[in-house]
Chain A
């Protein structure tokens, strides 16, 4: 059983397109996150949601919009994709009371051409 899953695993698209990445966790966790890993492997948080409420919104362009339909899902929609958006995007989740203990999904490698 996959604890934190993401779809798709790979996403290749052209500049200007709009795309979404989906994340689901079956751990019963209340908090979910999106992280971006750039080409140099540097990881940085983008967003965090707790029970469908936005908690963290780092300095991310407005083209990125997270959506949490329920506490088990956190999707990431990206408008007007740019070359610089190419990266690996990781979803993570954490349990209530131990939100520092995060469990990561396998990642989605986004390539913008």
Chain B
């Protein structure tokens, strides 16, 4: 069965510090992987996606993620956190009929 696990439901960083949000997946077929961000009281916005090809993918707002097949991981990083990055982040995997299978989410807090 396909699944997504996000390690750490809450992550707190200082402004300017590295952001690392962890995502591991389970899939019997080559995965398509996504990161979405949800700001308070808003819908989800696609940050970046991995389908095929280059394993390091860059997204909006300075975020990037690296697909590592050997580790079944797709961790999200940003070199320097901004206050505006505070939000809920969801890792997702393409499932059957192209539905998205989401992880439980990680709430990122950024403090001064």
Chain A positions within 8 Å of B, measured between CB atoms, are 4, 31, 33, 35, 40-45, 48, 55-56, 90, 92, 94, 99-107
**Cβ contact within 8 Å between B43 and A107:** yes
B11 to chain A, nearest CB (A): 14
The 9 closest A-B pairs by CB, nearest first: A99-B98, A104-B43, A104-B44, A43-B102, A100-B94, A45-B99, A106-B43, A41-B105, A100-B98
Within 8 Å CB of B32, what residues of A? Answer: 100
Q: Find the B residue at minimum CB distance from A3.
A: B43
- Which of B46, B49, B90, B104 lies in contact with A103, CB distance below 8 A? B46
Of the candidates A40, A94, A103, A104, the one having the most CB atoms from chain B within 10 angstroms of its own CB is A104
| Interface residue SS majority, chain B | strand
**Cβ contact within 8 Å between A33 and B99:** yes
The complex places the Cα of A55 from the Cα of B51 at a distance, in Å, of 22
B38-58 contact mask (Cβ, 8 Å, vs A): 1 or 0? 100111111001010000000
Q: Find the B residue at minimum CB distance from A31.
A: B98
**Cβ contact within 8 Å between A40 and B104:** yes
| Interface residue SS majority, chain A | strand
B48-74 contact mask (Cβ, 8 Å, vs A): 1 or 0? 010100000000000000000000000
Within 8 Å CB of B97, what residues of A? Answer: 48, 55-56
Within 8 Å CB of B102, what residues of A? Answer: 42-44
B31 to chain A, nearest CB (A): 10
Within 8 Å CB of B100, what residues of A? Answer: 35, 43, 45, 100, 102
A64 to chain B, nearest CB (A): 16
A33 to chain B, nearest CB (A): 7
**Cβ contact within 8 Å between A102 and B90:** no
**Cβ contact within 8 Å between A42 and B46:** no
Within 8 Å CB of B34, what residues of A? Answer: 100
Asked if A41 meets B44 with Cβ closer than 8 Å, knowing A48-B99, A99-B98, A100-B98, the reply is no
